[in-house]
Structure 1
Amino acid sequence: MPNQAPEPATILVDADACPVKEEIYRVATRHKAQVRVVSNSPFRIPDNPRVRRVVVDDGFDAADNWIAENAGPRSVVITGDILLAERCLKAGAQVLAHNGKSFDAASIGTAIATRAIMADLRAGMDGVGGGPPPFSKADRSRFLQALDRVLVGLG
């Protein structure tokens, strides 16, 4: 039996706070990847048969649960949620943050610990503080390169 081409990769997007949706659509089209835009409310998506919107109920973590349940070895998850990233890594998915940072088995523990420390620090500041730095052109460029690299690897 001749070698069959692998199933196309699927990009699962934690869409509610994702600043790189347009970039995802562009890279996915080039690599013929499927895209699932997962959110609690509808987002405008391109008219492309490879891109589908998945609207989940308003339940706490409903979008995260859908993504984690559908993640696997042929999927790339785009999220800024470290706990969701951990769940998806355990399912065998590749995981990228919006700035192109890759999460893997070696880095996820440190990311979770840092998240806990930052939460403790914020709790002690009584609302004073700035939040994350603004999303930059360099972040967008790093993300595009990282997504392209992951999809080539899944090729």
Structure 2
Amino acid sequence: MKIWVDADACPVVIKEILYKAAERTKTQLILVANRYMKIPKSTYIEFLQVQSGLDVADNRIVEKMAPKDLVITSDIPLASKVVEKGGFGLNPRGEIYTAENIGERLSTRDFLDTLRSSGIETGGPASLTKRDRQSFANSLDKILTQNDFSS
């Protein structure tokens, strides 16, 4: 089993947590992005660069991932495809995407997109807090422990 990262938009602090987790659990970690990114030298950490373009990285992740793989993303449509394919989705704030909650997340996202396209300012996401980072680390540990990614 592998951990895939939608790396273009993933915060550096979250990537650092993932690097440590990959080493600790001996789990393959693949960062996918359309621009070059420096990663630590490790048997367990890879970088996959894709061409620029809308959803190119997302599509590559969905194409390459297997059921039970974990995908780190804040992109709700990508998370939906991951869950549909039998994988786990986790956002940088520690929220686990599941078959039970992804429909609601998609509806909320679509609603906000509609508001924005009609000229209503909805604001962006707040900066990651220390609590968010801890929540992410806890959720990551829970997923890795319960699903034994290291075997």
Same fold (TM over 0.5): yes
3-state SS in 2 of match to 1:135? coil
Cα shift at 1:123: 2.2
- Runs (4+) of structure 1 exceeding 2 A deviation are 123-126
1:59 is aligned to 2:64: no
Give distance in 2, aligned partners of 1:81 and 1:129.
17
Q: How does 1:67-82 map to 2 (within 5 A)?
A: 67-82=61-76
CA RMSD between the two structures: 1.2
The runs of 5 or more residues in structure 2 that have no matched partner are: none
> Which position in structure 2 is the counterpart of 1:11?
3
Structure 1 residues 130 and 110: alpha-carbon distance in aligned structure 2, compared to 1, 3 A threshold? same
Instruction: Verify: 1:133 aligned to 2:119, yes or no.
Output: no
Q: Does 1:120 align with 2:120?
A: no
Residues in 2 aligned to 1:73 and 1:60: alpha-carbon distance in whole angstroms: 24
Q: What's the offset of the Cα at 1:59?
A: 2.7
The alpha-carbon deviation at position 129 of structure 1 amounts to 4.4
Question: Residues 114 and 129 (structure 1 numbering): CA distance in 2 closer, same or farther, change over 3 Å?
Answer: closer
Report if aligned partners of 2:70, 2:90 keep a CA contact under 8 Å in 1.
yes
1:87 maps to which of 68, 81, 88: 81
Q: Which whole-Å CA distance do the structure 1 matches of 2:77 and 2:91 have between them?
A: 12
Paired residue type of 2:133 = R
- TM-score between both structures, scaled by the size of structure 2: 0.92
After superposition, give the CA deviation of every residue in 1:2-43 in whole Å (9 maximum; x if it has no partner): xxxxxxx31100000101111111112111100000000111
State the aligned residue count. 146
Partner of 2:101: 107
Secondary structure of the corresponding residue to residue 22 of structure 1: helix
1:154 aligns with 2:147: yes
C-alpha distance in structure 2 between counterparts of 1:145 and 1:119, whole Å: 30
Q: Distance in 1 between matches of 2:60 and 2:118?
A: 33
Change in 2 beyond 3 A, CA 1:33/1:132: same
- Contact 1:16/1:40 (8 A) holds in 2: yes
SS of the aligned residue for 1:95 comes to: strand
Task: Specify the SS of the correspondent of 1:52.
Answer: strand
